[in-house]
Chain A
Amino acid sequence: METAELKKQLKKQIVEFLNLTSVNPDDIKDDEPLFGEGLGLDSIDSIELIVLLFREYGINIQDPKEGRKVLVDINTMVDYIEKNRTK
């Protein structure tokens, strides 16, 4: 899958998975921070996103600290998915 396409797909999955009803997936910028400012997600969302990575891409992040490095923005997530996906 092309990186651009993967980004588009991931944004859609994040919006659905976290029920971000007021967010249009295409409005999420690739370098917009997921936590704090930006999308305003919190620690429970970070765990939910780790589950998303597992269910959709077969990536098993055990250590939440590693999760924090991956879950910065769309760019970091896509980069990690491309390198580690098993499905």
Chain B
Amino acid sequence: MPYFFIHTQEKKLSKIFVTGMGAISAIGNSVAENRTALIEEKSGIGKLTLFASAYADKRPCGEIKISTTSLKEKLSAHEPGVTRTTLLALHAFEEAIFDSGLNAEELGAPDTAFINATTVGGMCLTDELYHDANKTEDGSPYLSSYDCGSVALYIRDRYKIGGIVNTINTACSSSANAIMYGARLIHHGLAKRVIVGGTDSLAKFTINGFNALHILSPELCAPFDKDRKGLNLGEGAAYLVLEREQDIHNRQPYAQLTGYGNTNDAFHPSSISEQGDGPFLAMQQALHVAKIAADKIDSINAHGTGTENNDETESRAMLRVFGSPPAFASTKSYIGHTLGAAGAIEAVYSVLNIYRQEIYPSLQFKEPIQSTLLEPVLNYKKMQVNHVMSNSFGFGGNCTSLIFSKA
């Protein structure tokens, strides 16, 4: 039996509001720019130019068109050892804390937590890592920047964050889990406010890894299309500031985080079971925590990577949960799969769905998968959106669903 969250504390839980957001991806350097591209249905996926790779012309990527050097300039991050993954994180982090109006004193308070997620960390520096791991002299300036923890540790030092600081890596569901962990810290009184999210930069490591598994598409990814050929990798970062209802005073929150669930598919190291057990249970659990029925969900930001396995199993799981699923789309068709950042960027998009009362379409879809016949949203539209579900599933069968609701 899968277990369900929160029995003993049910009555005491305070509402958790999203009071700030920051995002950077292939379609924009801010939340506002991201939204414009989503409304205009502009994909940011194209040829890889950031670094030389055998796959630059063969595997489209969602890259951010700012060089690492320019990011360092822009963010005044000149310390040796700062990686692109950290710079993207810093970019989105600063937007988020500025947006929510957190000041230095609040950031340094012992009840402010920072929960980051990343899967690539400093491994974007393929050549430096190859050297440092194999050669016994002349270490590069990046010796302490390769691990996943390095990103959060840099940001902690820069902003002197005073509370719990953590890094989560559960592959492609990492930042959805960071959001969930942050929310639970608030529920347990271990933090008053949390900054949660994730970051990943494009890397030869992940391009070659996913390519070796034959799941990188040679074309623009086409989530939920019957002829989909795999995923496109992307890069980006996003953070959300979560605060308790009693602390936000007169500020207008974007949305409320109402539900979350994490389960394991326990089927295979790199693919999801045929009936989508893990995704099914994660969605069910999130609904249980949010205390809403499935038919209250107005739209779903699907995991929708565009691989044969994900889209079909996620479709089955949505059919099992919803019978007839609500409007759903995969925004990976705009920015690619940003791995450790995906859950957070898609959480930002889900919050925008609610705050702006609009939904964004899936791109590149032509015909539905024959066994499930589900069609994603194909046009931008304004509509009543009270509850949005965001799905993130990762290697090792890790499945997480979040629910955001109207504040």
Taking Cβ atoms with an 8 Å cutoff, the residues of A that contact B are 42-44, 47, 51, 64
CB proximity of A65 to chain B, nearest CB, Å: 10
The reply to whether B214 and A64 contact each other, CB–CB distance below 8 Å, is yes
Asked whether B214 lies within 8 Å of A47 as measured between CB atoms, the reply is yes
Partner of B268, one of A42, A47, A51, A64: A42
Q: How far is the CA of A43 from the CA of B212 in the complex (A)?
A: 12
Complex CA gap A43/B271 in Å reads 10
Secondary structure at the A interface, as helix, strand, loop or mixed, is helix
Identity of the chain B residue whose Cβ is nearest the Cβ of A64 in the assembled complex: B214
- CB proximity of A2 to chain B, nearest CB, Å: 33
Q: Which residue on chain A has the smallest CB distance to residue B269? A: A44
12 contacts between A and B (CB under 8 A): A42-B268, A43-B268, A43-B270, A43-B271, A44-B213, A44-B269, A44-B270, A47-B212, A47-B213, A47-B214, A51-B212, A64-B214
Binding site for A on B (CB under 8 A): 212-214, 268-271
Tell me which residues across on chain A come within 8 A of B213, comparing CB atoms.
44, 47
Chain A to chain B: the 8 pairs with minimum beta-carbon distance, closest first: A64-B214, A47-B214, A44-B270, A47-B213, A47-B212, A44-B269, A43-B271, A42-B268
Chain A residue numbers with a CB within 8 Å of B270 are 43-44
Shortest Cβ distance from B363 into chain A, in angstroms?
26
The closest CB in chain B to the CB of A42 belongs to: B268
CB distance from B309 to the nearest CB of A (A): 10
Closest Cβ–Cβ distance, residue B197 to chain A (whole Å): 31
Residue of A nearest to B271 (CB): A43
Closest B residue, CB atoms, query A67? B214
Whole-angstrom distance between the alpha carbons of A44 and B214 in the complex? 10
Q: How far is the CA of A44 from the CA of B269 in the complex (A)?
A: 9
A44 vs B271: C-alpha distance when bound (angstroms):
10
A44 to B268, CA, bound (A): 10
The smallest C-beta distance from A67 to any residue of chain B, in angstroms, reads 9
Interchain nearest-CB distance for B217 vs A (Å):
14
User: B270 — nearest CB in chain A belongs to which residue?
Assistant: A44
Q: How far is the CB of B267 from chain A (nearest CB, A)?
A: 11
Measured between beta carbons, the chain A residues less than 8 angstroms from B268 are 42-43
Complex: A42 Cα to B213 Cα, angstroms: 13
Query: What chain B residues lie within 8 Å of A42 (beta carbons)?
Result: 268
Q: How far is the CB of B269 from chain A (nearest CB, A)?
A: 7
**How many angstroms between the C-alpha atoms of A43 and B268 in the bound complex?**
10
Residues of B within 8 A of A64 (CB): 214
Q: How far is the CB of A48 from chain B (nearest CB, A)?
A: 9
Query: Whole-angstrom distance between the alpha carbons of A64 and B230 in the complex?
Result: 13
